[in-house]
Structure 1
Amino acid sequence: LQLQCPHPPEVDNGIIRTQYKHRVYYICDRGYIMEGSHEIKCINGKWLEAPKCNPHPGPNFPCDHPPGIENGGTISLTQSEYAHNSRETYKCQDSYVMEGKAEVTCSGGKWSTVPRCLAPCPISEEDFRKNDLNLFWSFQKPIHMKHGERLIFSCPNGFYFEPPAERICNNGRMEFPKCLSEESKTCTGLQYSECPICTQSEICVQHHIKKVEILPSDASTLSLMAKSGSGSAIFTVQHSHKSNRKNLKFTIKESSNAVVNVGFNRESRGIQYNNPAIGDYCFTFPKDNSITFNVTFSRNFTIRFDRLKQSLI
């Protein structure tokens, strides 16, 4: 009766090349040499001692073919084996930029560090159009900027973008700035500090960001500052349809050489205040539930929207 053989033993840094029923043949990985017999047998259900794969003792061990690289390769046909101190040269595809040394060397069974090919940045007219950027030339097909190349962008008059204006192609990626209008419109919910049920109202402020700055303030106050000379802003208070309140009470708290035009949108009537007095004001909302303020001022203009007293409702 012949005993069944278990799975043959594994060998570190080596593999089983062929296996028969009661015998196997081992080979070592490149850079290793075998100690012991390549072949072992299974006798009476037990395998004989497997060989060992030890590192090659000499520095002159050959190398396999050089590793492949993405978007590039060696300039000559590869061989199955390269002698110690052999050299090979890499080249990238067109428009790709090589990072690292083009030439690699075989030493002790291993290649020196291979280079990599950095991708270009494709640029099209559509990239300029969708970001509202100035386009000074026309091209039918996308062009490719090489890694590390720079491009300076500009915006049409009346538009701006956050610096820097110069952007760099970085391995296939380039961040396009987006031109933004210098006329900024910001809408926030009004939060009357004394009237929690009024928070459904909304105020929208439109201003030139290079001429007027909205200063931080409490949730029911709008504070504007002219950056130089005079400034102007338009802001609209939209009344909530869910609320039964029809009046808007506000207080002008700060005003410097201001001219305030109050419009009631679709209604032709309007009110103009030249150097309006500091104090309280009250308006009735028109049918479309919105009141627009067009303000020109110097230095600062501050307005606060407050809870309406019961007698004014």
Structure 2
Amino acid sequence: MAITTRFTTMGMLALSALLTFGFASCDKDEDTTTPTASYDHQHAPTQFVAAGDTKFAYRILGNNEGVPLVVLAPLGSTMDDWDPAVTDGFAKKYKVILFDNAGVGSSTGKTPSTIADMAKGAVTFIKAMGYSRVNLLAFSMGSFVAQQIALTEPALINKMVLTGVGPKGSEGLSKLPEIIGGGQGLSAEESFLYFGFTKSEASRAAGKLSYARIQLRQVDRDKPLSDESSLAELTAVLGWAQPAPDALKELESVKIPVLLIQGKEDLPVPVINPTNMAQHLPNARLIVYEDAAHASLFQLADKFVKDGSDFLGE
């Protein structure tokens, strides 16, 4: 189904309504030195690491030892589209690494139009950072990328926390263009609430608080996605949505411990998808949040951080 570039810049799958503000970061000098100080989401400096022809932009939160937690972003999102309640929450126990994949935000290069190539980019970044083993926290499109990494580079992953998740051929994901169309004409905040939260007063109130937190960082904000990158990401997600009869069986080979967390009323990726995944992943656990939708991790940030941290710490 055809979809216009205007729709892609709305960043359907999670939180890219923020892109309508057009926040842009200042140009940054290359810096590949890992900071010794412990930074939070609002103040972590943007750094760069080069790998091939790409300079990956990244930020490090916290300064904890042990296996680092690499964060994989959803459709249309940059490092500044994460709720600091989540990233700072995990940074209390783990070294959290945010980054922009190729062509996204402040990173150079061209954004891939397939999940497989996005996974290659993420692996390239992780190895360029000098890590041989990481934990992954992945949301929506990021969770698709994480699955691909688990299939092609399993030795690189210690554990995965996946949310807004579905396998290849996810039920309902092919309706994404219709969902995008349903959000036309909404304000940035209302678009954020429409795609990520339920219609209940409690969910909407939590969504408004999350929306405000995401905008707290005003200095050195990341660059928004270009229209070209937005379209490439949407193409990749719709490619992932294509029928894949063997997708669940393929996941049976993934032995990595996986925590699946999903809002019961997820609109783009219905809860049936992680339910099916949990039955095929040999070492998976599923938690479903009531009265929560695609952005359940932001709505219930404290619970999500506790559930995720407990799992990673086991």
**TM-score of the aligned structures, taking structure 1 as reference length:** 0.22
| Higher-Rg member (1/2) | 1
Higher helix share: 2
**TM-score of the aligned structures, taking structure 2 as reference length:** 0.22
Higher strand share: 1
